[in-house]
Structure 1
Amino acid sequence: MIALPIAMQSLISSSLNLIDNLMVGSLGETELAAVGIAIQICFIHWIVMFGFTSGVATFMAQFWGVKDLTNIKKTTGFAICVCLSISLVFFLIAMLFPQTVMKLFTNIPELIKLGTGYIRTIAFTFLTISVTVPFTAALRTTQQTKIPLYISIFVFTTNTILNYVFIFGKFGAPKLGVTGSALATLIARCFELLLILFVVFVKKNIVAGHFSEHFGWSRQLVRRIVRNAVPTTMNETFWSVGTAMYVAAYARVGVTEYAAVQASNVINNLFILAAFSIGDATLILVGQKLGEGKLDFAYELGRKLLRVGIALGIISGGVLMISSKFIISLFDLTPAGREDAFYILLVYGAFMWLIVYNGICITGILRSGGDTIFAMAVETGTVWLYAVPMAFITALVLHLPIYLAVLLVKTEDILKSFILVRRFRSKKWAKNVIHDV
């Protein structure tokens, strides 16, 4: 009931994202690589939004455990204010310094030129996401997961249709290429905002409230939310910037190599995001039990959900490896690019069960009990002290084939898993964070 709609939403999102990349990729490897680099600022922004709302969702889930709708509304309002403030910073950077953003990842003039127009157009989506993400979190934690699913079906379908129209200039529209993809995403995100506001306020959803209900926070509530959400925000920010550093390393190897990485990442997301829905469900379900004070029950539930996640990771990874050659053939890559992408997908498939396990531990188990500082230390430590140096050393110093560089970077998940297994078994994460709020 909880995980399946989230999984379907993730699957729809990643499936249509694959179609979008196929459309852009049909223009050439240069266009595919340019969009792959340009969306790094969107990726970092999205992850920061996710990081903060994930920390806030700990409170939402535990408040839902005791059916405290008043504090859920206040928590949602506070999340919107913080997310909007952060999004304004990203918006200004994207509008004023798009070339600088591109130059952080590549020194190829053609990629910089194509990516600059994309970033300026996509910048406006940062403002819409700052509202939709907190409300989506509120709907999910109150176990109304079907509503975001239905909205996503409409939004992502609209995005795909508009991509076709604006990238290729169909039905009388101008042929905008890479910029057309950004314009389609912007229009779709505006529809998403309108639909969320309609469902919540016009339909009078249980998370809807008057101005004072959403923004009448107590100092104690804000202090506790910030104490929990700042580590999750820093966690996701440092992780996303670290992931972007992989791009900075891989993109400097060459256009063909990075196009292979970008295609592989899009395909990998098609399989892994659905499995990661178990992490979202874990935070909601385990957090609810922690809010009710059932700590031992929450531990056992978390253990079972981890097993489910491992099983899904093994299945998803196996299917990815088996189908990788066929899916890669859909992209307009050179023979060298197709070969690199194939080997990269084999690496992703082999590591998927471990990646899913680590993801559920951090975003689901540890965060459900407010153990966000430890989660931040583990994730940022392994990424920045191990994986980021490994990416630059293997790709730019040792000049290894791109798929071997990716393989060595992914071994970071092995190190991370050893630490997370011990933390989970210690039960130090199982806490009630809403007591006395």
Structure 2
Amino acid sequence: MPAGNKSDRLGQEKISKLLIKLSLPAIAGMIIQSLYNIIDSIYIGNLGTEYLSALSLAFPVQLIIIALGVGTGIGASSLISRLLGEGRKKRASNAAEHVFILAIVYGAVIGTIGFFLSDEIMSIFTNDPVLIDLSQRYIRIIMTGSLAIFAPATFNYILRGEGNTFLPMVTMFIGAITNIILDPLLIYGIWIFPEMGVEGAATATIIARTLGGIFITFVLFSDKNEIKFNFKLFKFDFQIIKDIFKVGIPAMVNRLMFSFAITIINGILGMYNTTAIGVMGVVFRLQSFYLMAVFGLNQGYLPLLGYNYGYKKPERMKRTVLIGWLTALTFGAIGFTVFQVFTEPLLRMFNSNPEFIEIGIPAFRKVSISYMFMALNVIGAGTFQALGKGVPSLVITFLRQALILLPSMYILARIGGLDSAWFAFPIAESIAFIVNIIWVVLLLRKNMKEMKNENMQKEYVKQE
């Protein structure tokens, strides 16, 4: 029986009410976080299309950093919610301590690599000396200060594991608002600040994330959480690392594959011109704004499903899945409608270059066809992660990106040119969705049958 604490509500309160409570703060935080990435691009885009293209080239490296932090965080959140559902609070706290140490190790390693090798890293993606110079100036600062990214990324998931999504939202708000304020000051050199261009955008990001990281660290070490840190009694446990990475590594690889896919996509688009690369960067940033709402929903959904899985409540699990998937489908429909109707005004926020608009409008309308499938694929991955199964989401991501998206984009580009290439996105997402839904249904049926049998045996023992 779970401990009588805050997380108990995950196994008792009404599912729809809980999902709203848990998801809304996460959605708000994720959207505001995505907003400052978009604002970054708007300010940088006003400097010229080559700056946007440089930012797009640096984007995969940023995704690798985020993948490490978020992947570890997802693994931790899944493990912590399941442990709390089983009533093992001390082990849940010990898992959180391991995550804290991992974040510091990540920051030290990535920071060292970025400081010494950023120029060589960006040379992998392009031979254009202007783009190499601009992108490496940006990514060196991001990598050197990466501890500021890892801390809030991983620590927020510790709190989400116990069902607290409000304080992670506050953390993201602190970072986002700070970034939005600092961006124009450091990029353009307003008031007492130096004009730093792309380096200003990177510096603003690191300062903002640092403030968010300081806030969430103080929260974690307070005595108001169900998770308690006590490093005096800390003992390294390889099984905890294994349990975190069992879900965390597939989550990381999912995002790393996305980073790899973007690199290849940029190469395919580069066969036409660098403006197409800039368009793809803007498409991904605007897409991420919509997807952050879906990810926020997923962050409320994951601990709720994971807790009831640990608590052995199949009926609550079934209702959580049904409500979560229907909500994701609604989000997907809204995203599709907005980006179909307001395509040109959204693109003009970044750049009004006629070639940019000409390429961007059909690109965005074709890519956004995939959004309903994309939303359901995100919540499908969250279902596997909540149940402690990281491999299925990894397999589906590999299918979608490596086996379908990249080959189909290359083939369509060769057959029909740039205009046809964009159709690769809805093709990949729709096929992945079919595999996703079949796998989820089979897994849930198996788990729920096992739980019902186990619960029946417990009732029989009690009666005896």
* Structure 1 and Structure 2 fold alike (TM over 0.5): yes
1:153-178 CA-to-partner distances (Å, cap 9, x unmatched) read: 22111111111111000112111111
Partner residue of 2:22?
2
Q: Cα gap change, 1:250/1:92 in structure 2, threshold over 3 Å: closer, same or farther?
A: farther
2:358 is aligned, of 317, 328, 339, to: 339
Partner residue of 1:408?
424
CA contact (8 A) 2:63 2:255 kept: no
1:418 is aligned, of 426, 430, 434, to: 434
Secondary structure, in 3 states, of the residue corresponding to 1:310?
Answer: helix
Q: Following TM superposition, by how much is the alpha carbon of 1:239 offset from its aligned partner in structure 2, in angstroms?
A: 3.6
In the aligned structure 1, how far is the partner of 2:232 from the partner of 2:421? 53
1:165-223 CA-to-partner distances (Å, cap 9, x unmatched) read: 1100011211111111111111111111211112222565433411145x424444344
- Listed as ranges, the matches of 1:173-192 within 5 Å are 173-192=193-212
1:350 aligns with 2:363: no
Partner residue of 1:257?
276
Letter in 2 for 1:235: N
Letter in 1 for 2:431: L
In the aligned structure 1, how far is the partner of 2:168 from the partner of 2:36? 16
CA contact (8 A) 1:275 1:309 kept: yes
Question: In terms of mean alpha carbon deviation, does 303-312 or 383-392 score higher?
Answer: 383-392
1:290 aligns with 2:309: yes
Q: Cα gap change, 1:268/1:218 in structure 2, threshold over 3 Å: closer, same or farther?
A: closer
Partner residue of 1:113?
133
Partner residue of 2:345?
326
CA contact (8 A) 2:112 2:144 kept: no
TM norm structure 1: 0.91
Q: Cα gap change, 1:241/1:92 in structure 2, threshold over 3 Å: closer, same or farther?
A: farther
**Structure 2: stretches of 5+ with no match in the other structure:** 1-20, 455-464
Q: Following TM superposition, by how much is the alpha carbon of 1:309 offset from its aligned partner in structure 2, in angstroms?
A: 0.6
1:206 is aligned, of 223, 226, 241, to: 226
1:39-89 CA-to-partner distances (Å, cap 9, x unmatched) read: 321112102321232122211111232453322221112223334434444
Letter in 1 for 2:254: N
- Listed as ranges, the matches of 1:108-187 within 5 Å are 108-187=128-207
Secondary structure, in 3 states, of the residue corresponding to 1:293?
Answer: coil
**Structure 1: stretches of 5+ with no match in the other structure:** none
In the aligned structure 2, how far is the partner of 1:280 from the partner of 1:248? 33
Secondary structure, in 3 states, of the residue corresponding to 1:171?
Answer: coil
Q: Following TM superposition, by how much is the alpha carbon of 1:393 offset from its aligned partner in structure 2, in angstroms?
A: 4.0
In the aligned structure 2, how far is the partner of 1:144 from the partner of 1:180? 33
Letter in 2 for 1:420: N
- Listed as ranges, the matches of 1:322-401 within 5 Å are 322-362=341-381, 364-395=382-413, 397-398=414-415, 400-401=417-418
Letter in 2 for 1:383: Q
In the aligned structure 1, how far is the partner of 2:447 from the partner of 2:66? 28
Secondary structure, in 3 states, of the residue corresponding to 2:24?
Answer: helix
1:305-363 CA-to-partner distances (Å, cap 9, x unmatched) read: 1111101110121122212221212222321211222222212332111100011101x
CA contact (8 A) 2:57 2:135 kept: yes
Secondary structure, in 3 states, of the residue corresponding to 1:97?
Answer: helix
In the aligned structure 1, how far is the partner of 2:118 from the partner of 2:282? 23
Letter in 2 for 1:424: V
Q: Cα gap change, 1:247/1:80 in structure 2, threshold over 3 Å: closer, same or farther?
A: farther
1:228-261 CA-to-partner distances (Å, cap 9, x unmatched) read: 4333333333343233332333345322111111
CA contact (8 A) 2:367 2:425 kept: no
Partner residue of 2:244?
225
1:33 aligns with 2:53: yes
CA contact (8 A) 1:165 1:171 kept: yes
In the aligned structure 2, how far is the partner of 1:89 from the partner of 1:133? 16
- Listed as ranges, the matches of 1:15-30 within 5 Å are 15-30=35-50
What is the root-mean-square deviation of aligned Cα atoms in Å? 2.4
Rg comparison, structure with higher value:
2
In the aligned structure 1, how far is the partner of 2:271 from the partner of 2:300? 38
Q: How many residues align?
A: 430
CA contact (8 A) 1:260 1:333 kept: no
CA contact (8 A) 2:332 2:371 kept: yes
1:266-294 CA-to-partner distances (Å, cap 9, x unmatched) read: 22222221123222222111111001011
Question: In terms of mean alpha carbon deviation, does 272-281 or 107-116 score higher?
Answer: 272-281
Secondary structure, in 3 states, of the residue corresponding to 2:417?
Answer: coil
